[in-house]
Amino acid sequence: MSGTTLDTPAPQPGLTGLDLHGVVPPLVTPLDEDGRLDIPSLERLVDHQIGNGVDGLFVAGSSGEVALLDDEARSALVRATVSAAGGRVPVLAGVIDTGTDRVVAHARRAARDGADAVVATPPFYVQPSPAEISDHFRRIAQAADVPLVAYNIPVNVHVALPAETVAELARDGVIAGLKDSSGDLTALRAYLRAAEGTGVRVLTGSETVADVSLQLGAHGVVPGLGNVDPAGYVRLARAAQDGDAAVATSEQERLIRLFRIVTTPSTPGLGGTAAALGAFKAALWLLGVIDHPRTQRPLRPLSAADVDAIRHRLVACGLQPSR
Amino acid sequence: MSGTTLDTPAPQPGLTGLDLHGVVPPLVTPLDEDGRLDIPSLERLVDHQIGNGVDGLFVAGSSGEVALLDDEARSALVRATVSAAGGRVPVLAGVIDTGTDRVVAHARRAARDGADAVVATPPFYVQPSPAEISDHFRRIAQAADVPLVAYNIPVNVHVALPAETVAELARDGVIAGLKDSSGDLTALRAYLRAAEGTGVRVLTGSETVADVSLQLGAHGVVPGLGNVDPAGYVRLARAAQDGDAAVATSEQERLIRLFRIVTTPSTPGLGGTAAALGAFKAALWLLGVIDHPRTQRPLRPLSAADVDAIRHRLVACGLQPSR
Amino acid sequence: MSGTTLDTPAPQPGLTGLDLHGVVPPLVTPLDEDGRLDIPSLERLVDHQIGNGVDGLFVAGSSGEVALLDDEARSALVRATVSAAGGRVPVLAGVIDTGTDRVVAHARRAARDGADAVVATPPFYVQPSPAEISDHFRRIAQAADVPLVAYNIPVNVHVALPAETVAELARDGVIAGLKDSSGDLTALRAYLRAAEGTGVRVLTGSETVADVSLQLGAHGVVPGLGNVDPAGYVRLARAAQDGDAAVATSEQERLIRLFRIVTTPSTPGLGGTAAALGAFKAALWLLGVIDHPRTQRPLRPLSAADVDAIRHRLVACGLQPSR
Amino acid sequence: MSGTTLDTPAPQPGLTGLDLHGVVPPLVTPLDEDGRLDIPSLERLVDHQIGNGVDGLFVAGSSGEVALLDDEARSALVRATVSAAGGRVPVLAGVIDTGTDRVVAHARRAARDGADAVVATPPFYVQPSPAEISDHFRRIAQAADVPLVAYNIPVNVHVALPAETVAELARDGVIAGLKDSSGDLTALRAYLRAAEGTGVRVLTGSETVADVSLQLGAHGVVPGLGNVDPAGYVRLARAAQDGDAAVATSEQERLIRLFRIVTTPSTPGLGGTAAALGAFKAALWLLGVIDHPRTQRPLRPLSAADVDAIRHRLVACGLQPSR
C-alpha cells in the first residue's frame, strides 16, 4: 500500500482510521465451471492487483456480481479476499441489498468476516425519500462495527444520492467515504463540496473520467476496468497525484480505448451486465489471471468470437494475453 | 375458498394443482412499535381477508415490504400467514430478490415454511436480457418444490417481462401463473395470449383497472388496496364473473376514489413507498384490523394530519373507521 | 357523418357545436416520390375512410408526420383534406409545435384553411409546469376561431397532461375534447371523470385498447391503424356502442394482430417512427389506396422484405392487398 | 473578436472559415412587458457580452426561448443581434425544430438574416435512428448557405447524438462544429475523438464543468450563465488556455455557486424552464442590463421573493446589482 495519499489537501486519516484513497479496484468474483467461488483464481487476482500497486480492494460490489451471490457465497468471498490480501491493503466489502435490515445483516457479517469497511447503496426496489435514505445510512452505521462508505450508483439503484444528504451524513460522522458511480462530474463536484472539511473520502467509480475526477480533488478511483489493467490506473493516479496532467490524460485515453471491451460483445441473448462483467472476466482469463471466464447465473457466457475480439483489443491497448 | 373460478374459459386446475384465481390480496406486513412482526394483527388481517371472501393470500410481496424484511422476518411472516390461513385459501409467498441463487434460497425456505406457491420477479440491480430472465425463472422452478408465479413490476424492477418470455415459460410448464403490476392493459392482453391454452393463470396487480382486466380474461386480481377493502374487490370480481359489467365498474369507480389514500399523504420526508404502504396501514389501523400503522425502517411514518385525511376518505367511500 | 353517437350518455353537441365521437382516424400524409403532398392519394385515402363509415378525420397529427412538414405543407394538407372531405365528416387539424405563439400561428392558419377544430399538445422541448400547460391551452383557445382539442401524447412530448388540468380546462370551456394517446386506462378514467358533465369529449389514441376505452365511456377512438383498416374500427365502435362486448373484443383482437405490422420492420437504419408510419403507408400502398409508401425525410424507407412481411400480415388478418 | 484561440492544438480555421472557439454565450431573448422583442435591451446585452470579451454569440438557442418564439420573432431576433454585434464577433443562430424541412426553412431564413452559422438538433417529437439523424444534418448542410453546428441536448430532445454519427459528419465536412449540452464528460471525450483531425470545433454547453471541458480539449464554452457573468467565463477560458488550472477551477467554483440561481426559484406554478431562464433574466434585470425580466408565454414570472433571493446570490458571488 502506498504510503502517500492522492488528495490535494494534507492526508487526513478519516474519522475512522480508514485511509481510503488511490486505486481501489472493485474485484470481479472468480467462479469455477459450476458457479462456485474459485479461490485460487481469486488469490491470483488479489496478487495481480496488489502487485501492480493498488491501494485497496473492493469486494462484493457491482463488478463482483454481488446481486447474484447468495449470503454464503458473499461471506466466503469476503473471507477469502481478506485472507488473500493479508493486511497488505484494506478490503472494503459491498453490503448491497434492498432495505435497511437486510443491509445491516450483511454489514455485521462482513465485519465478522474481516472487512475493513462496508459499502452500501440507498434502498432500492422501494422508492425512498432523501430523509429515508439518510435514516438508512444512519442505522447501518450504528449497527456496523466498521466504517461505512455510501455508494451512489443510479444506473442500478434508480435513485440518486442527493449531495445534501451526503453533506449531512459527512458532517455527522455517519460515513467515512463515498463512491460515486454516476459518471457525472457536476455531481462529483457537489459531493466533494459536501465532504469538504469532514475527512470523508470521495472516490469515483468511473473508468473514463478518472483523471479529471482526481484533478478535481477526488481521493481515489474504483474502476471496474482496474481488474484488467491495475497498472494503468495506478500510473494514471500517480501522475494525477504528481500534477502531471498530460501523463494522466494519455493513460486515461488508452484506458478509454481498452474499456471498449465492455461494448464489444454481441453474443445473442446477452444482457448489459453479462456483456460488461463477462468482458472483464474474459480479459482476466486471456491474461492468465483467472481460470474460468464464467459469470454467475443467470448471466450468459460470451461467445468465442466475442472473446477473440476482446483478445485483439487487449493487444491493441498494450496488454499481453497468454491465452 | 370459492368453489368457482373467474376465468371465462372452463376452469383448469393449472399444471401444478394450484387453482389461482379471484381476489388474492398482497398483504401488508403488520409490525409492532419496534418494527417486529405483529402476529395478532396479522391473524386479524388474515381473518379480515378470508372473512370477506378472498380466494388466496399473497404474502411478502411489494405491499408486504418484502424488500425491507431480513430473511428471518420473511420466514416468520410466511409461517405465521400459513398458520393463520389454516388451509382455508392458498398462500403465495414473495421470494423477491436481485439474483437467481438468492431467489432460489428464498423459494426453498418459503416452501418449507408452508407456502403453496412462490412469486418471483426478473433479476434486478443487474440488467438482464430476456434470455437471462427466462433462465432465471427456469432455475427457480427447478429448485422450488412449489409452483412458481412470475411477477412483472417494472416500477420496482426497472425491466419489463417480455410477453414472448412468458409464452415460452408457460408453454414449457415453468410457471403456474403471472402477476402483472404494470397497469398496462395492452401488456396484459399480450400476457393473456401468451398464457392461452397452457393453464397458466394471469392476475393483475392493478387497483384501478381490475374490472376491465377481468373482463379481458384475467383470472384474478392482486390489489394492494384489497388489504383495506377486500369486500369491495370481492364484489367487483363476482360481478365481473357474472358478466355484470355495470356493477363491476361502479364498484371499481368507488375503489378508485378510495385509492386516493395513497396520494393523500403530504408528510415532509415521506417517500413514495412510505406514502402508499403507510396509507394502507393507517387505513387498516383506523378500521381496527391492525394495532400499529408503522412501516418498516427506513420508511417514515405518516403525520396525524395525513392519517386524519385518510379517515375522512374511508368514510367518504363507505367504510367505517373504529378509531 | 353518422347520425348517432357512441357515448352512453345522451349525445351532447359540445360547447362548441363540434360533435366529436366515434372513429376519427389520424390520417397519414401521402407523399409523392419527391416528398411532396400527393393529393390524388390523399383524396383516395379520405374516400377510403369515409366510405368505410368513419365519423371524422384528424389530419396533421403524429401519424400525419406533422413534425416533419413545413408550414406550407401543413397548410396545403389541411386545405386538401377539408376539400376532399367535402363536409361529409368534420376535419380536425393538428397544430403541434413547441410553444404557445407557434401553436397559435398554426391554429389561425388551420382555421382559415377550413379545419373544424384544432388539436394541440402541451409545450415541449421546454419543461412546463401544469399551470403553464393550462395557460398554453387558454391562449390557444382565445386565439383560435375553432374548437380546441387537447392532446396527451407523453411518448412524443415527454410530459403528461395532468387530469386536474383537464378538469379545469373542461370546466372553463377552454377545450372541446381530449385525445389521450398514453394507452393508460387509469389515466383515461381520470380524464373521463375530469370531463364529466362538461360536454368535453374524450377520445383514445390507442390501437389496442379501443374496445375497453369505449366500454369505459370514451366517446371515440383515433387509431393510427384505422388508416389501414377503418372498417375494422368502425365495426368495433358500433359493437361497443350497441353493448356487444364479445364482437367488440373479437374485432379488437384481430386488430391487435394486424397492429404487429408496426413492429415487423427490421430494415437497418430505420427509427421507431419510420417503422410505424412506414408500415401504415406500406399497407395502404399494398391495398391500393395510396400511390407511394414513402415517408417524409429524414425517415428511411422500408425494405422490400419488410413490405413483403406486411403483405403477409394483411392477408393473415383478412385484408386483401392488390399489390 | 479575440485574435487567439483556446484550443491546445494550433488553431485551424475550420472547413468553413468559421473560427469557433472561446466563450460563446447562448443569449437570452429580452422581451418587453407585452412579450415583444425588446431591442434596446438586446443591444445592451450584446454590448455587455462583447465588452466583457466573449468570442461569439449564440442567439435563438434553448436559453433564447427559441421553442417559444414564432417565426417572425426568431427572424427579428437574428437580424437585431447581427446588427448589434456589428461584425465584432460571429453570430450563431439556433434553427431548432422538429423535422428536416422545418429546420431547412429556418436555416435559410437565418442565413438571409445575417447569421454566420446555424445550430440544429436531431429531429424530435419523432423517434429517429442514428442514420436518420445523419441524413437530417446532411440535408440541412446542403440547403444552408452558412456553416452548420450540430447540437446535442438530450434533456430537451430526448435522443442523444451518437459519437459515431458525429465522426461521420465531421469526416464528410457536413458540420463545422458541435455543441454538447449533455454535461457528460465521457460523451464530450468521445465527441473530441470523433472531431479529431477534421477541423470541427467542439463546444460544451455546461455551466459547471467548463474548466474541465477546456482542459480536455474542448474549443469553447456556451454557458447560459454566461449571460449573467460573461467576464467570469472569459477569465475561466483564458486561464484554461494559459494552462493555469488553479485559476480556471477557482473561477469555475465561483460560477457553480452563482449557478444556484437556477434552482433558487420556488414560485408556485413555475416549471423548470421558467425557473432557469427566469433566473438568468432576473439577474440581468437586477444588473441593469435588460429592462424587463419577463419570459415568453406560457412561462410564468418569478415572484418578488425569488428575485430578491437571486439578488442576494449575485452579491454573494461578487456581482453588483444596480436594482
Tell me the pLDDT tens digit for each residue of A58-71: 999 999 999 999 99
Length of chain C: 323
Residue C299 is placed in which grid cell?
Answer: 425517415
pTM: 0.94
| 8 A C-beta contact, residue C66 and residue D123 | no
Q: How big is the CA angle at A20 (ends A19 and A24), to the nearest 5 degrees?
A: 135
* C151 has catalytic annotation: yes
- Encode pLDDT of B103-127 as tens digits: 999 999 999 999 999 999 999 999 9
Measure CB to CB from residue B208 to each of C183, C189, C208 and give the nearest one: C189
- Encode pLDDT of C214-240 as tens digits: 999 999 999 999 999 999 999 999 999
Binary contact (B101, A70; C-beta < 8 A): yes
User: Rounded to an integer, what distance in angstroms lies between the CA atom of residue B176 and that of residue B170?
Assistant: 7
Which chain C residues are within 8 Å of D129, Cβ to Cβ? 269-272, 274, 300
Asked whether residue B282 carries a pLDDT value surpassing 50, the answer given is yes
Looking at residue D260, what DSSP letter applies? Answer: G
Give the confidence band of D16 by pLDDT, cuts at 50, 70, 90. Answer: low
Residue linked to cell 477473440: A308
| 8 A C-beta contact, residue C173 and residue C11 | no
Considering chain D, what percentage of its residues have pLDDT values greater than 70?
Answer: 95
Asked whether residue A221 carries a pLDDT value surpassing 80, the answer given is yes
Which chain B residues are within 8 Å of A298, Cβ to Cβ? 99-100, 123, 128, 132-133, 135-136, 139
Mean pLDDT, rounded, of chain A = 94
Sheet holding B177-180, edge to edge: B22-23, B220-221, B201-204, B177-180, B148-152, B117-120, B91-94, B57-59
- Encode pLDDT of B285-306 as tens digits: 999 999 999 999 999 999 999 9
Looking at residue B145, what DSSP letter applies? Answer: S
Binary contact (B245, C215; C-beta < 8 A): yes
Closest residue by Cα to residue B133 from A299, A60, D123, C65: A299
* Strand, coil or helix: C305: helix
Number of Cβ within a 10 Å radius of residue D44: 19
Give the confidence band of D19 by pLDDT, cuts at 50, 70, 90. Answer: confident
Instruction: Please give the pLDDT value at position A16.
Output: 52
Instruction: Please give the pLDDT value at position C233.
Output: 98
Least confident of A255-269, C16-30, C52-66, C218-232: C16-30
Binary contact (D216, A212; C-beta < 8 A): yes
Residue B45 is placed in which grid cell?
Answer: 388481517
Measure CB to CB from residue B183 to each of C186, C245, C253 and give the nearest one: C186
Please state whether at least 3 CB pairs lie below 8 Å between chains B and C: yes
Q: How big is the CA angle at B13 (ends B9 and B16), to the nearest 5 degrees?
A: 135
Considering chain A, what percentage of its residues have pLDDT values greater than 70?
Answer: 95
| 8 A C-beta contact, residue A49 and residue A27 | yes
Catalytic residue among A179, A191, A233, A281: A179
- Encode pLDDT of A128-168 as tens digits: 999 999 999 999 999 998 999 999 999 999 999 999 999 99
For B24, B141, B149, D82, the CA distances from B146, given in Å and listed in that order, are: 18, 8, 10, 75
Binary contact (A126, B299; C-beta < 8 A): yes
Instruction: Please give the pLDDT value at position C13.
Output: 37
- Encode pLDDT of A65-96 as tens digits: 999 999 999 999 999 999 999 999 999 999 99
DSSP codes, A80-126: HHHHHHTTSS-EEEE---SSHHHHHHHHHHHHHTT-SEEEEPPP-SS
Rounded mean pLDDT, B77-94: 98
Asked whether residue B13 carries a pLDDT value surpassing 60, the answer given is no
The Cα of C208 is separated from the nearest Cα of chain B by a number of Å equal to 6
Asked whether residue B45 carries a pLDDT value surpassing 70, the answer given is yes
Encoded amino acid at B46, one letter: V
Instruction: Please give the pLDDT value at position B18.
Output: 81
Measure CB to CB from residue B135 to each of A129, A136, A298 and give the nearest one: A298
Residue C191 is placed in which grid cell?
Answer: 380524464
Give the confidence band of B38 by pLDDT, cuts at 50, 70, 90. Answer: very high
List all chains that touch chain C, counting a touch as 3 or more CB pairs closer than 8 Å: B, D
Q: Which residue spans within chain B are E strands per DSSP?
A: 22-23, 57-59, 91-94, 117-120, 148-152, 177-180, 201-204, 220-221
Measure CB to CB from residue A212 to each of D208, D212, D256 and give the nearest one: D212
The ipTM assigned to this model is: 0.94
Which chain D residues are within 8 Å of A245, Cβ to Cβ? 215, 245
Give the confidence band of D171 by pLDDT, cuts at 50, 70, 90. Answer: very high
Which chain C residues are within 8 Å of D127, Cβ to Cβ? 271-273
* A179 has catalytic annotation: yes
User: Rounded to an integer, what distance in angstroms lies between the CA atom of residue B98 and that of residue B95?
Assistant: 10
Binary contact (C189, B209; C-beta < 8 A): yes
Asked whether residue C207 carries a pLDDT value surpassing 90, the answer given is yes
Instruction: Please give the pLDDT value at position C16.
Output: 53
Which chain B residues are within 8 Å of C185, Cβ to Cβ? 183, 185, 208-209, 212
Helix-helix angle D163-171:D130-143, to 10 degrees: 30
Residue C229 is placed in which grid cell?
Answer: 383498416
Query: Phi, psi at residue A84, to the nearest 5°?
Result: -70, -35
Residue B226 is placed in which grid cell?
Answer: 384489497
Instruction: Please give the pLDDT value at position C6.
Output: 30
Give the confidence band of D18 by pLDDT, cuts at 50, 70, 90. Answer: confident
Considering chain D, what percentage of its residues have pLDDT values greater than 90?
Answer: 94
Catalytic residue among C179, C191, C233, C281: C179
Instruction: Please give the pLDDT value at position B302.
Output: 98
Strands D117-120 and D148-152: parallel
Measure CB to CB from residue C208 to each of B186, B215, B249 and give the nearest one: B186
Binary contact (D274, C129; C-beta < 8 A): yes
Nearest-by-CA chain B residue for A105: B70
